[in-house]
Structures are given as structure tokens and as C-alpha cells.
Amino acid sequence: MYVAEDWKDYEIIDASSGEKLERWGDYLLIRPDPQAIWKTKKVHEGWKHPNAHYHRSKKGGGEWKFFELPKQWNIRYKDLVFGLKPFNFKHTGLFPEQAVNWDFMREKIEGAKRNINVLNLFAYTGGATVACAKSGAAVTHVDASKGMVTWAKENASLSGLASAPIRYLVDDCIKFTEREIRRGRHYDGIIMDPPSYGRGPGGEVWKIEDKIHELVKLCSKLMSDNPLFFIINSYTTGLQPAVLSYIINTEITKRYGGRVAADEIGLRVSLNNLLFPCGATARWCK
């Protein structure tokens, strides 16, 4: 498992009975998580006194209950700063487990000793965008949500990257990729963090099982002559690491050589030192 071990401002304190107790900076949040199927005793005091608790509804969705939590606050990962705020569907605007991929990309970019162009698809609030730009890459940030792209700009500014070479686009990722191919654009690194299901700004339907292979195949045409990395993240249970590896090997390795490493991605639970699963990731590099 790829494990993000270097956080100071974030931790999973405990997890049980479909929920996890997390520390985000100075604040404790309880959020639902379907992976926490075990029913261990909730002994940590934070379970009784959180700053916010997201309650899942039996009808779908849910709502936050707040106890002395600011509307927005910042946390830091190494030299990166991110603004957080709880919003619908239990999220805070950041996936902390992705820090292990941020470190991987930054090492590749800094080791290349040349100008690097990165494409970040389904880029959300810009964790990977900020990480790559901080190491000197030019980044194209694409997401279907205007609100998420605005949030990504705020995160870049918090990390001192307001004037960095980041191109922000509100667009459907497949349509954007098709246009980039026609324009003859190429990228040294490509990241994609697709949702299980979603809609583009024009109502385009995205279902990961139906679309992911098509998108990877398109992206293979955008890789430069000397590419650095290609990364896919998945939070969909059916897309195991071996599935992601198979797709990348079929479309990227076959064309450019290199190798794929795929595994679960996760975080350590501080109360018992066990590993909590947070999805899957596959990395291609030369």
C-alpha cells in the first residue's frame, strides 16, 4: 500500500462502525466511510467532542452538524498550504492520502532538470496542481466544476503560486482532451482523479467503468516524446489496482515503454497504527 506518512496537520485518529475520526489542523471531524466495516469500541474522547459530525441519511446524502468550527481554515503539508471547508457529500476539499502521489510527482519533476508540462484532469481543488507547480512545472488544471476551479486558484495563492504558470479550465475532461489532441499539444506528466460518477458542465455523463479506458487511450496521444509520469487514482471499489495497471500497460507502456506500479493507497490510523484503505492508485514512469 502507498501510505502518506509525512502529515503533521492531518491524521485519522480512529475508525469504526462506518465512520472515521479525523484531525484537520486544530479541529476534529467525524465523517462516514464505508470501508470502516469493523465495530471496535470508540474509546477516544474525540468521538464524544468533535468540532463537526457528518450524519449520513438513510435516504441518501446527509448533513453536517457543527460544534465550534470555522467556515474555513488552512492546513499545511510540507511547503504546501490548503484551504478547507466542509461542504456537501461529507467532503472538506482535500484527499490527504494523495500526499504520497504529490511527493512522487515532485521528485520526478525536480529530478528532470528541464521544463515540465503537466495535465491534471478531474483536478478538484488542486492538490496535485499546487504540488507540481511548487516544484516548477507548468500545469493545466481541468475540472467540470467552476466552484472547484475557483477553490484551486485560492489554494495556489495560499501556497505562494498566484503567478505560477497554471492554466485553469472549466471543461469536460474527455472533450478537452480531444481538443488538445487536435491542437497538437503534449504533456510530460498526466494525472487523473476521476469520480465514480459525474456530469460535465454541459450535462455530459461520466461513469468511470464505461469511460476510463477511452480517456487513457486519448491521453496516450498527449504524452510528450520524453514523458515523466502518468497517474490514475480510483475510489471505485470495482477498479482494483490490477485493473488500473492493465489499462495503463495496454495504452501507455505499450507505446512508451517504462513500467507501472499499482497498489492500494491509504493512511495510518494513529490510535492503533493500522492502515486505512482510501482507494487505489497506479503510476507509470520510465
Q: What is the pLDDT of residues 258-274, one digit of tens each?
A: 999 999 999 999 999 99
Residue 186 sits in a domain whose CATH number is 3.40.50.150
Residues 217, 204: contact at Cβ < 8 Å? no
Question: Are 129 and 257 part of one and the same domain?
Answer: yes
As to burial, measured by CB atoms within 10 angstroms (0-12 exposed, 13-18 middle, 19+ buried), residue 162 is exposed
Q: Give the strand order in the sheet containing 19-24.
A: 10-16, 19-24, 27-32, 52-56, 62-66
Question: With bands split at pLDDT 50, 70 and 90, how would you rate the model's confidence at 211?
Answer: confident
Q: What is the pLDDT of residues 84-131, one digit of tens each?
A: 999 878 999 999 999 999 999 999 999 999 999 999 999 999 999 999
- Cell numbers of 245, please? 495497471
The rounded distance, in Å, linking the Cα atoms of 245 and 171 is 27
Terminal Cα-to-Cα distance of the chain (whole angstroms): 21
- Cell numbers of 239, please? 477498479
As for how many domains the chain has, the answer is: 2
- Cell numbers of 50, please? 468533535
Q: What is the pLDDT of residues 147-176, one digit of tens each?
A: 999 999 999 999 999 999 999 999 999 999
Question: With bands split at pLDDT 50, 70 and 90, how would you rate the model's confidence at 60?
Answer: confident
Question: Are 207 and 145 part of one and the same domain?
Answer: yes
Whether residue 91 is contained in a domain is answered as: no
Contacts of 10 (CB under 8 A, 6+ apart): 22, 23, 24, 25, 75, 77, 96
Question: Are 76 and 135 part of one and the same domain?
Answer: no
Q: What is the pLDDT of residues 19-45, one digit of tens each?
A: 999 999 999 999 999 999 999 999 999
The rounded distance, in Å, linking the Cα atoms of 228 and 138 is 14
Residue ending a domain, among 84, 105, 122, is 84
- Cell numbers of 165, please? 504558470
Specify the pLDDT at position 89: 81
pLDDT above 70 (res 206) = no
Specify the pLDDT at position 237: 65
Q: Identify the H or E element spanning 263.
A: strand 259-268
Is 116 strand, coil or helix? coil
Specify the pLDDT at position 236: 67
Q: What are phi and psi of 12, to 5 degrees?
A: -85, 115
Strand partners, 83: 74
Q: What is the pLDDT of residues 61-84, one digit of tens each?
A: 889 999 999 999 999 999 999 999
pLDDT above 70 (res 11) = yes
Question: Are 175 and 113 part of one and the same domain?
Answer: yes
pLDDT above 70 (res 238) = no
pTM for the full predicted model: 0.93
Whether residue 90 is contained in a domain is answered as: no
Minimal CA–CA distance to 257: which of 282, 231, 225, 234?
225
CA 163, chain centre distance (Å)? 23
Question: With bands split at pLDDT 50, 70 and 90, how would you rate the model's confidence at 196?
Answer: confident
Q: What are phi and psi of 74, to 5 degrees?
A: -115, 150
Whether residue 203 is contained in a domain is answered as: yes
Question: Are 211 and 268 part of one and the same domain?
Answer: yes
Question: Are 11 and 146 part of one and the same domain?
Answer: no
Task: Output DSSP code: residue 251.
Answer: I
CA 113, chain centre distance (Å)? 26
Q: What range defines the domain where residue 52 resides?
A: 2-84
Task: Report the chain's mean pLDDT, rounded to a whole number.
Answer: 94
Question: Are 11 and 116 part of one and the same domain?
Answer: no
Specify the pLDDT at position 239: 80
Question: Are 161 and 34 part of one and the same domain?
Answer: no
The rounded distance, in Å, linking the Cα atoms of 238 and 277 is 14
Residue 34 sits in a domain whose CATH number is 2.60.40.1180
Question: Are 127 and 187 part of one and the same domain?
Answer: yes
